[in-house]
Structure 1
Amino acid sequence: MPKPHARRLFLAHAARLVIAGAALPLAKPALAALPNARRLEFDHTHTGERLSVVFAIGDRYLPEGLQRLNFFLRDHYSGEIGSIDPQLFDLLFQLRQELDCEQPFQIISGYRCAQTNARLRSTGSGGVAKQSLHMQGKAIDLRLAGVPLVDLRDAAISQGAGGVGFYPHDQFVHLDTGRVRSW
């Protein structure tokens, strides 16, 4: 039989956990209001999903925010979830600031598993590299509503932080955290 003192301590601790858990949903919007919060918004063109997430506070990445981004940017063909390079989110955040745009990024492709990549290459989809950085979680294909594609491309190139591919016919820009290059 537990001692009354131990039981009271257990109940007090459990009550604190319940109260803290109930406050969590209230704390999430407060994160976005912090002056050093880094937030991104997305619309996924294939899944129809939307996401607004704080992924970092200052220079500290938030694990829950990164997990939500990994899930959102999963391979939309297979459902496989990859680990996206947080530097890609830093690049996207900087692009929105440079372009002074509050619109969500429209996602065409994020993470891509090896099987999906091979299938897309075999069907003749243009621009699918054999060793695509999408498979490493280091690339994203997107556009930004209200921003001309050429302006998005130019702003991405000016960052000097990775690869930038321009696909005007397909209406997207490819960004990655690989070596600096453009095509």
Structure 2
Amino acid sequence: MTTSKGSTQLTRRGVLAAFAATAVTAAPLFSAAPAYARGAGDIRRIRMYSGRTGEKMDTIYWIEGSYIKDAVKEVNYFMRDWRRDAVIEMDLRTIDIMAASHRLLGVTEPYTLLSGYRTPQTNAMLRSRSSGVAKTSLHMKGQAADLRLGSRSVGQIFKAAASCGAGGVGKYSGSNFVHMDCGTVRTWGR
């Protein structure tokens, strides 16, 4: 729905209709794909900003059934362990969950990426400073991201990610971020 000022206002019905249309048109390509991937659309885009490096990224990384190799490399580099400048191939299921959640939220604002890939050394350092860092964190496998949006609450981001029904979603209200990963389906946090 477009308001008189020309801005777009999404309604629940509009979001559901958009996802239903996407699922129908994408069905021949994605019939065996997880629901969150079918809901991500014929074009998948990821927008992120890193306050640590000052970098911004806005890229389409998937079109009509195919990942775009150079765009995926860009995502991998952007989500690197900036402390050690170490890059890993991020698990694309996590990127798809992030993109589907972003699309559900109906925003163009980029995610602020707090943490993507972590080397074991970085994970150990963070673990020594916080009890909330897992010893065998999926961040070390390139399967997790910690994200926030200025225009949406932690609760809203959490609900969008959890509604994808894929992977783990953690709510860290005190630190103002949501964890998304492609591991076992589970939720936690306050």
Shorter-chain TM-score: which interval? Answer: 0.7 to 0.9
Partner residue, 1:166: 171
Structure 2: distance between partners of 1:130 and 1:38? 32
Partner residue, 1:97: 103
Partner residue, 2:82: 76
What residue ranges of structure 2 are gaps of 5+ in the alignment?
A: 1-40
RMSD value over aligned CA atoms?
A: 1.2
Query: Aligned AA for 1:75?
Result: D
1:96 to partner: Cα distance: 1.8
Q: Which whole-Å deviations, capped at 9, do the CAs of 1:99-148 have from their partners, x for residues lacking one?
A: 111110110000000111111112x2241100000000000000122111
**Runs (4+) off by over 2 Å:** none
Q: Which whole-Å deviations, capped at 9, do the CAs of 1:40-77 have from their partners, x for residues lacking one?
A: 11101211110111111122101101100000000011
Partner residue, 1:154: 159
Q: Does 1:39 align with 2:45?
A: yes
Partner residue, 2:59: 53
3-state SS, counterpart of residue 169 of structure 1:
helix
Partner residue, 1:121: 127
1:88 to partner: Cα distance: 1.2
Q: Which of these residues, 169, 177, 180, is aligned with residue 185 of structure 2?
A: 180
Partner residue, 1:6: none
Question: Normalized against structure 2, the TM-score is what?
Answer: 0.75
Contact 1:104/1:145 (CA < 8 Å) preserved in 2?
no
Larger Rg: 1
Structure 2: distance between partners of 1:126 and 1:133? 16
Partner residue, 2:69: 63
Query: Aligned AA for 1:141?
Result: D
Partner residue, 1:32: none
1:36 to partner: Cα distance: 3.3
Query: Aligned AA for 1:53?
Result: T
Question: Normalized against structure 1, the TM-score is what?
Answer: 0.78
